[in-house]
Amino acid sequence: MSKTKIDRTPLSGAESVAQAMRQINPEVVAAYPITPQTGIMHAFTAFVNDGDVDTEMIRVESEHSAMSATLGASAAGVRAITATSSNGLALMHEIVYIAASTRLPIVMPVVNRALSGPINIHCDHSDTMAERDSGWVQIYCENNQEAYEMTLLAIRLAEHKDILLPVMVCQDGFITSHGVEGVKLYKDSIVKKFLGKYKPKHPLLDTKNPITIGPLDFYDYYFEHKRQQSEAIHNVRKVFPKLVKEFKKISGKDYGFIESYMMDDAKEAIVVMSSSAGTTKEVVDRLRKEGRKVGMVKIRMFRPFPISEIKEVLKGVDIVAVLDRVESFGAVGGPLFNEIRSSLYDYNNKPKIVNYVFGLGGRSYTPELGRQVFDEISKDKNSKDYEHNLVRYLVVRN
Amino acid sequence: MVDTKEIKIKNLKELSKQKERLAPGHRMCPGCGAAIIARMIMHSTENEIVVANATGCLEVSTTIYPYTSWRVPWIHNAFENAAATLSGVETAFRSLKKKNKTKKDIKFLAFGGDGGTYDIGLQSLSAALERGHDFVYVCYDNEAYMNTGIQRSSATPYGASTKTDPAGKVRPGKLEFKKDLMEVVAGHGIPYLAQASPHNWADLMKKAKKAFETPGPAFLLVLSPCIPGWGMPNNKTIEIAKLAVDTNFWPLYEIEKGKYTLNYDPKDKAKPIIEWLKSQNRFKHLLLPKNSSMIQTIQDHADKKMNYLRMRANEK
Ligand SMILES: Cc1ncc(C[n+]2csc(CCOP(=O)(O)OP(=O)(O)O)c2C)c(N)n1
Ligand SMILES: [Mg+2]
């Protein structure tokens, strides 16, 4: 056996993000505990207290204040980060919207956890999906490596002059946040160079040029400001690929808005987000060995929504199963399902499409369940009345 | 500890030449106490300042986009989080200072109404005080949620009629006493806090100057007459603020490193509380014979508080 040098560090998803934060070395970090986010701030504050970074911590009394203080620091003109999960994000909700409308480049790692009630600490996407219209860029990570790299990319994306918007970098609670994998960390000096220095255009601390942030904005201007905000988030479509190209020199990776797996000739496909994409790839591999033309699409960026990529990749597919790790009460299907379904509207030969709500409150998504989905949709392909069973629940008791 | 009376401030002639930090032309009501208070407090330091403002009358009436009355950097985030927001701003500044990226000496100032301070913003204020940020938090207390149309807050005094607790046939307005916010804030052990009134401008400005010069958190609670909310003529703001002090409804005092100082004591020249009550429509119903016992209750409450302050001020 030849000895190869191991260049990977065993890290949990939470620790991977903390490593990214160490390299970012933000001026201000606000922290408030909530499981499973705590792993990030435990690791990061250890860096602070050991002098590995020179960040000023604000150990706040609530997530509402965490986001408020982060907003204040960012408006002052420095890099500012906070992180949260679930009820913490829900408590921030009011300020999450204000952060986006104030056009502040805050980066917030979010460890996805089911919203109460009932209270639960495990993974689903109900927390971040409730913020999908808040004006934040939302990136969903499959594994620890991606969580590390997306946190770094998020800084550049948020601060880009054509964007100036906050970014959520989401990873699955426990599955990713507490699962340890070998993570390739890039050299501090290289990462620092990539991140560059933050030069705010209108910092509040510029007392020579006083500005008013957060004025009262009525019907005569509010609408235009919302429209500008909308244009800014769509600019991510242009900017993200450029940043990925630049980052590729470090990572060697081509990160798209989506990732397609075995989709070139696929007739049946699963669309899914975050850690479940890894599981689904395994299922696709197994079924491919059996000669089945299956594939998977992972949505990496949910906001802005990658409509053109979706249209392109699902062309020629017979049937699509969209997996939502959240229930959208009273709607027909989950948020991802509705986005994908509406993306396909313009096709003449639309693929059939069904929705699976799965994994709520941390219920496992296993390769067996992935296979079950493929088996069911391959039957639905030839059925006329599959639409009567449009939205399904992946193993739930009645 | 410097005696507040000895603090040097400019005289009125000098002050009139100092550049206004809150520009005229804002939309506060004529006679509004909050605008007067904001100007005086900002005039009391010549340092550069950065202001955070909670949602409320002062905020909405001074920043109607695309206009602003603020000639200093100013930020409004939401209603309950001026203290948390300013914590972030001040921490960012501290970080830049530490890294030698700024040479400035900026003072940080928050304005919140009573609703934004006694009620919805109390948690964020409490935590910011406990963390010890270097800022001055000013609560302009007009004793109700005025911006939304005169609703009761925990700062609304006993007996007052508001839109959510009006003087009615079976309930004569608010029956709970005003929260003693000074005691709540004092419980945080911050280095300096004071209660002031806009009629005594020298006392207010000296306290503000002291607050700015105190390292760490300082808190000012300033009575802010409200023309529509209190039901009073718009040329009586200063007179009515004075009446609040002369009737012992609003004692002028300060707490420095735990030591209480009563800045003014009318002693036996104190006017009866009924004069204060008579000056505003929000108390009008108290003058009805059926409510006469309430006036005594208010008098007793004021006397008790004043005696408490005298006792504390006499502590060695
Ligand atoms: C979370 C939230 N709740 C309620 C409001 C509505 N609101 C805006 S200003 C205000 C009243 C503010 O009262 P106060 O703090 O006493 O200031 P004032 O208007 O009296 O100056 C209220 C209730 C809000 N903006 N945000
Ligand atoms: Mg008020």
Q: Could you write out the three-class secondary structure of chain A?
A: CCCCCCCCEEEEHHHHHHHHHHHHCCCEEEECCCCCCHHHHHHHHHHHHCCCCCCEEEECCCHHHHHHHHHHHHHHCCCEEECECHHHHHHHHHHHHHHHHCCCCCEEEEEECCCCCCCCCCCCCHHHHCCCCCCCEEEECCCHHHHHHHHHHHHHHHHCCCCCCCEEEEEECCCCCCCEEEECCCCHHHHHHHHCCCCCCCCCCCCCCCCEECCECCCCCHHHHHHHHHHHHHCHHHHHHHHHHHHHHHHCCCCCCEEEECCCCCCEEEEECCCHHHHHHHHHHHHHHCCCCEEEEEECEEECCCHHHHHHHCCCCCEEEEEECCCCCCCCCCHHHHHHHHHCCCCCCCCEEEEEECCHHHCCCCHHHHHHHHHHHHHHCCCCCHHHHCEEECCCCC
pLDDT the model gives residue A2: 55
CA–centroid distance, A112 to ligand 2, in Å, is 39
For residue B278, how far is its CA from the centre of ligand 1 (angstroms)? 27
pTM of the model: 0.97
| pLDDT of A1 over the 60 cut | no
Residue A213 and residue A77 share a domain? yes
Residues A225 and A330 in one domain: no
Where a domain ends, among A212, A229, A251?
A251
Examine the fold and report which residue of A203, A218, A251 is the final residue of a domain before the chain moves on: A251
Answer whether B84 sits within 8 Å of A64, measured CB to CB. Answer: yes
CB contact under 8 A, A215 and B87: no
Residue A96, chain B, CB below 8 Å: the answer is no
Q: What is the tens place of the pLDDT at every residue in B240-251? A: 999 999 999 999
Q: pLDDT by residue (tens digit) across B208-233?
A: 999 999 999 999 999 999 999 999 99
Q: Is residue A300 part of a domain?
A: yes
Of the residues A251, A277, A311, which one is the last residue of a structural domain?
A: A251
Domain topology for B4-313: Rossmann fold (3.40.50)
Position A329 pLDDT exceeds 80? yes
A54 shares a domain with A100 = yes
pLDDT at B18: 94
Query: Do both A244 and A166 map to the same domain?
Result: yes
Query: Cβ of A84: how many Cβ atoms within 10 Å?
Result: 29
CATH of the domain at A297: 3.40.50.920
Q: How far away is chain A from the Cα of B196, in angstroms, using its nearest Cα?
A: 28
Q: Summarize the confidence of residues B45-73 as an average pLDDT.
A: 98
pLDDT confidence of B1, banded at 50, 70, 90? confident
Domains identified in chain A, total number: 2
Q: Do both A214 and A328 map to the same domain?
A: no
Q: Does residue A196 sit within a domain?
A: yes
Interface test with A, best of B27, B59, B65 (most A CBs within 10 A): B65
Of B66, B81, B130, the CB nearest to A95: B81
CB-ligand 1 contact for B33 (6 Å cutoff): no
Q: Is residue A107 part of a domain?
A: yes
**Gap between the Cα atoms of A299 and A306, Å rounded:** 8
A15-73 pLDDT, tens digit each: 999 999 999 999 999 999 999 999 999 999 999 999 999 999 999 999 999 999 999 99
A24 and A50 share one domain: yes
Could you tell me if residue A398 is inside a domain? no
pLDDT band of B2, cuts 50, 70, 90: confident
Nearest residue in A to B133, CA atom: A58
Q: Answer with the residue of higher pLDDT: A124 or A348.
A: A124
Residues A217, A300, single domain; the answer is: no
The pLDDT score that the predictor gives to residue A348 is 87
B56 lines ligand 1 (CB under 6 A): yes
Residues A97 and A220 in one domain: yes
Residue in chain B lying closest to A211 (CA)? B73
Domain boundaries, position A286:
260-393
Is residue A3 situated within a structural domain?
A: no
Whether residue A396 has pLDDT greater than 70: yes
CATH of the domain at A240: 3.40.50.970
Q: Are residues A181 and A217 in the same domain?
A: yes
Model confidence over B126-163: pLDDT tens digits? 999 999 999 999 999 999 999 999 999 999 999 999 99
Domains of chain B by residue range: 4-313
Residue A210 and residue A91 share a domain:
yes
Q: Are residues A162 and A239 in the same domain?
A: yes
Q: Does residue A1 lie in a domain region?
A: no
CA of B161 to the centre of ligand 1 (A): 18
